[in-house]
Amino acid sequence: MKNLIIAVFTIFSAGEVLAQEVEESKTSLKLSGYADVYYANFSNDMEPNEFQPYTTVAPRDARFGLNIAQTSLAYTSEKVRGNISLHWGDIPQATWSSEFTNIQEANIGIRLKGDWWLDAGFFTTHIGTESFLPKNNFLSSTAIATYNEPFYQAGAKLSYSGSEKWYGELWVVNGYNYFLDVNDAKSVGILLSYNFNDNTSLTYTNLFGKELPSGSGDDAFRTYHNLYLNAHFADKWFLQVGGDIGTQSHSGLSTPEETAIMYNALATLRYQVNDKLSFTGRGELFNDENGFISGLLPSSNDRPQGLEMWGITMGSEFRPIAHAYIRGETRFLHLNEDISFFEGDLDPNKRWEVLFTMGYQFDKLFER
């Protein structure tokens, strides 16, 4: 491993020496690793090892499983930076591009001037209140909103980080949750974040573009907006509130020429008992009656319809050390009364789930 680190340093540093005069500047290489394992149980009856719908974390019923095993390298110098992350497990299998299943990120950035950077390559999405990785969230399970948001994207971003209060990104990408483009159009979006103080921040993201494959709804133009607030109170309470609004032209279910509208919202509240133990609750709702984001589901009236639901999640977390956690969660989902989707002892529009996860991450920084 030490020889690998030295080799990566040599490759990046050699490129910079050839491109400019040698000057004193600090370079760093961060090696990161992360693993999360689980056991889950669902009220919805499915075939053994089949993935549960609308679930990316702990998706297999009555099984021990691997959510993710991930390794990353991040190189940073005065004028160049690069990042590559590889991952394996049920989360990549449930969410990621079939063409690049194991590549989470692979991108290179160049400092243009001062605090302006231009990065290009493969990225995780800039949209969303929650992360798709359990380690970055208060709960391991993710909201239905997160399931229907993009997970990854390919393109370029221009970012600015020179303000203590503001941070911004301008994106041009192949499309909504695409590494490989499905049409000749590109999508554009922004991320704009404002820090009120050390404890409170507000972030807005969006994406605009034609997202359907060529030849299937070429006139359908999608807009997607996401807004979320993160706040920390009195060293004990943590609050996350967010929501999305999306539209797509020529996508009405009953009237195809109309513009379809969807929305969702979630609120997550954590109480930190001490530095090891915490309790978290989340409420969520999702409405995409035209199904242009969620897809169409079977209903009792024999007319397919988009997803409409609400849900509640309760969970606890214990951290034996700062970079490791053990979590237990229970969740209830209630879909629209007309939707017949789940099987088992409950009504076909309801699902209970219980999951336990254990995770560990590490970061090792090398500097020269």
353, two tokens:
């789930």
Report the C-alpha gap between 33 and 55 in whole angstroms. 23
Q: Are 260 and 251 in contact (CB under 8 A)?
A: yes
Q: Does residue 20 have a pLDDT over 70?
A: no
55-81 average pLDDT score: 98
pLDDT at 340: 82
Confidence of residue 244 (pLDDT cuts 50, 70, 90): very high
Q: Does residue 18 have a pLDDT over 60?
A: no
**Domains of the chain: which residue ranges?**
33-367
Report the C-alpha gap between 104 and 123 in whole angstroms. 7
Q: Does residue 189 have a pLDDT over 80?
A: yes
pLDDT at 11: 43
Q: Considering only CA atoms, which of 107, 111, 139, 144 is closest in space to residue 126?
A: 107
Report the C-alpha gap between 208 and 287 in whole angstroms. 20
pLDDT at 17: 46
* Cα diameter, the chain: 72
6-21 average pLDDT score: 46
Q: Are 87 and 69 in contact (CB under 8 A)?
A: yes
Q: Are 269 and 241 in contact (CB under 8 A)?
A: no
More confident residue, 303 or 326: 326
Q: What percent of the chain has pLDDT over 70?
A: 93
193-219 average pLDDT score: 93
Q: Are 350 and 333 in contact (CB under 8 A)?
A: yes
Q: Does residue 168 have a pLDDT over 80?
A: yes
Q: What percent of the chain has pLDDT over 90?
A: 85
pLDDT at 14: 47
Q: Are 355 and 39 in contact (CB under 8 A)?
A: yes
Report the C-alpha gap between 319 and 265 in whole angstroms. 28
pLDDT at 217: 66
DSSP SS3 for 304: coil
pLDDT at 25: 67
Q: Does residue 15 have a pLDDT over 80?
A: no
pLDDT at 345: 84
275-285 average pLDDT score: 99
Cα 85 to Cα 102, 340, 342, 355: the distances in Å are 9, 39, 35, 26
DSSP 22-42: ------EEEEEEEEEEEEEEE
Confidence of residue 252 (pLDDT cuts 50, 70, 90): very high
Q: Does residue 159 have a pLDDT over 50?
A: yes
Read off the pLDDT of residues 311-332 as tens digits, 9 standing for 90 and up.
999 999 999 999 999 999 999 9
Classified by CATH at the fold level, domain 33-367 comes out as Porin (2.40.160)
Q: Does residue 72 have a pLDDT over 80?
A: yes
Proportion of the chain in helix, strand, coil states, percent, rounded to 5: 10, 50, 40
41-58 average pLDDT score: 95
Q: Does residue 173 have a pLDDT over 50?
A: yes
DSSP SS3 for 236: coil
More confident residue, 18 or 209: 209
152-177 average pLDDT score: 98
